Structures are given as C-alpha cells and as structure tokens.
Amino acid sequence: MKRYTNINKEKIQHLLFSKTVEEAAEICGVSISTFRRRMKEYGIQNSVYIQSANTRKLRSEAMKLAHAKDPTLSIRQTKAIRELGILRKGKSNIEFYGVEKAKFISKQNSLGHLGYKHTKETRAKFSQQRRGRILSPEHRILLSKRRKDGFASGRLKLSPKAGFGKGGFRKDIGHYVRSSYEHVFALWLIHQGLYYKYEPQVFTLNINNEVTTFTPDFWVDGYWFEIKNPYNITLSSFQEKLKEFKLQYPDEVIFIIVGDSTWNNPEAINVTISNLPELAELIVMLKQVVCIKD
C-alpha cells in the first residue's frame, strides 16, 4: 500500500476527490484525527455526502418492510409528529430548540436534499396537493415577514432570474405592462414628451422550421424598444429570436435596453440612456419631431 510521508494540501484534495476521510487517512498512514487536523490547517472542508439513487431506493425498501412488519408504526409516527407540532406551534426552530440545535437542523436539512431531484411524478403530486390551497391572512402576513427578514439578514438572496416587480394594469400610464421595468420606461417616455404604442404588433418568425412570434415592447415613431432585465437578456431563446427578427425584418430598427434595480423612477433611466450614445442621439432627435397626442 502506498504511503505518504508528507501530507500536503494538494495530496489531501486529490485523495478526498474519490476517497472518504477514513480511507484517505489509511492511505497516508496516519490516524483519522491527524488527517482531519491537517485538513483544518489547510482550510479543507469535508466533502458533502450525497446519497446515491441506489441508497435511497434501499432505504425506501427498508422502511416499507418495517411498516409491513409493524402495522402500528405509521400510526405511532404520525402521532409523534402531531404531538411535536402541537408543542412547537407558533414557534421557530430557534425558539423551540435553541440557536445551536436550530442551526444544526437547518444545515442537515439542506445537506439531506443536496443533489436530490424529485421525479416528474413526485413533482406532479406536490403540485396537485398545493393546488387550490388558500392561506389565511395571518399565515400570509407571517410568510411575508419571514421573507423580508430573510432578505434583510442575507439568509435569502434574490435569484438572478427574478424580474423587477410584476405585470399589471397601471393607472398612471393607462395600460397593462408586463413588468415594473416597462412601467418605469413608459413613464420616462411620457416625461420626455414622446408618444408611444405598447406592443402594437406581433411579428411571426420562422426558427428551425418552427413558427414562433416576437412582440417588441414599445414603438416610437418607427423605432422599436425592447426592455429586458439583466437575466433574460442572456437567455439563448431571446437571443435567437432577436437575431432572426433582425434577419427576417431588416427594415425594422430595434433597441434593447437592460433595466436594473436602480430603475425606481423615470429619471434613473437617463443614466442608462447616457451610456448608450447611439440611443441617446436617437432620443434627442425623436424629442424634436414627436409629441404626445392630446
């Protein structure tokens, strides 16, 4: 058996790539505690254990067998869970278990699901169970507070896929928009004195022998403006549509404007426009020839 007399960081990382700590310590000819001590010195974390599909299957079969042998097992488990739920009703893990144990439970829960993906059938069951469920006003307020606290503390982070607000009818502009980015941009156009139309035309595209559509957001005197957030501007589906739109409709001129979290008022858009010289020149020209209809 090969032994390492000098246990350096690279060797430890190499061993842990395919071995457990116990196996790596044995190969190096040292005790497990010594090996772990060297890991700590080098700042190497324990590799996360992810159950294989076969292990999960074996555990599931073992549980089914246990329930078959003892018909009362399910009843006793349900009773215990219900009693625990009554005891900790209205309390957080920290309030019920204490800070240290609550942290441990949270960590174990996340590790237990790491790398695990539900099947389509299981996801369909979850969806069916949640369908039509109505939360009480008190529950909704509690969920909202926990989410706000989570974002404030940094425990929760906004997904890069998330847009900036929701779509809906906006009274101040008099029509529906699909996002707050579009709402603020519409207000900005109004403040600039520019008459616009919102999604006035749907363009048919042929992509890979499949027919699809593309609907630019704003039309201003023959020019199109498409508003995107930092995430969906990178989507391959959008990039492909944009490419084909330019190829299949060469006479149409379109500008893509990427909004961000600073777009909390129309004036903030001026900063974005100023960083796009060609667009800034166009806006100046449009302001000279286009006016808002009475």
* The pair of three-digit structure tokens given for residue 21, joined into one six-digit string: 């700590």
Residues 147 and 233 in one domain: no
Check residue 243 and give its pLDDT: 93
Span 90-139, pLDDT tens digits? 788 888 888 888 887 777 676 656 556 778 888 888 888 777 777 778 87
Residues 145 and 185 in one domain: no
Q: From CA 81, how far away is CA 76, in angstroms rounded? A: 9
88: in domain: no
* The pair of three-digit structure tokens given for residue 138, joined into one six-digit string: 């008190």
Helix 32-42 with 21-28: angle, nearest 10 deg: 100
Closest CA to 182 of 171, 195, 168, 194: 168
Span 207-240, pLDDT tens digits? 888 889 999 999 998 999 999 988 888 888 899 9
Q: From CA 115, how far away is CA 55, in angstroms rounded? A: 13
Check residue 204 and give its pLDDT: 92
63: in domain: no
Residues 252/214, Cβ–Cβ less than 8 Å: no
* The pair of three-digit structure tokens given for residue 275, joined into one six-digit string: 């960083």
Check residue 161 and give its pLDDT: 54
Check residue 214 and give its pLDDT: 93
Domain carrying residue 218: 168-289
Residues 235 and 183 in one domain: yes
Q: Which residue has the higher pLDDT, 111 or 143?
A: 143
**Strand duo 223-228 + 218-220: pairing:** antiparallel
Helix 73-87 with 53-69: angle, nearest 10 deg: 100
- Cα angle for residues 232, 146, 166 (degrees, 5° grid): 30
Residues 36 and 128 in one domain: no
Residues 150 and 172 in one domain: no
Check residue 127 and give its pLDDT: 82
Percent over 70 (pLDDT), the chain: 87
Q: Is the pLDDT of residue 4 over 90?
A: no
Average pLDDT score over the chain: 82
Q: Is the pLDDT of residue 292 over 60?
A: no
Residues 214 and 131 in one domain: no
Residues 271/258, Cβ–Cβ less than 8 Å: no
Mean of pLDDT values over 18-23: 79
What 3-state class would DSSP assign to 33?
helix
Q: From CA 278, how far away is CA 272, in angstroms rounded? A: 12
Residues 196 and 138 in one domain: no
Check residue 50 and give its pLDDT: 58
Other residues' Cβ atoms within 10 Å of the Cβ of residue 32: 13
> What number of residues does the chain have?
294
62: in domain: no
Distance of CA 76 to CAs 67, 68, 81, 86, 266, Å? 11, 14, 9, 15, 61
* The pair of three-digit structure tokens given for residue 5, joined into one six-digit string: 């007399």
What 3-state class would DSSP assign to 127?
helix
Predicted confidence band at 289 (pLDDT cuts at 50, 70, 90)?
A: low
Q: Is the pLDDT of residue 27 over 70?
A: yes
Q: Is the pLDDT of residue 84 over 60?
A: yes
Residues 228/260, Cβ–Cβ less than 8 Å: no
Check residue 112 and give its pLDDT: 57
149: in domain: yes
- Total number of domains constituting the chain: 3
What one-letter code names the amino acid at 75?
I
CATH number (domain holding residue 235) = 3.40.960
* The pair of three-digit structure tokens given for residue 16, joined into one six-digit string: 């842990």
* The pair of three-digit structure tokens given for residue 54, joined into one six-digit string: 């076969």
Check residue 2 and give its pLDDT: 45
Residues 174 and 284 in one domain: yes
Span 162-214, pLDDT tens digits? 555 567 888 899 999 988 889 999 999 998 888 999 999 999 999 888 889 99
Mean of pLDDT values over 63-92: 86
Residue labelled with tokens 């996801």: 123
Other residues' Cβ atoms within 10 Å of the Cβ of residue 207: 15
Residues 139 and 204 in one domain: no
Residues 262/268, Cβ–Cβ less than 8 Å: yes
Percent over 90 (pLDDT), the chain: 19
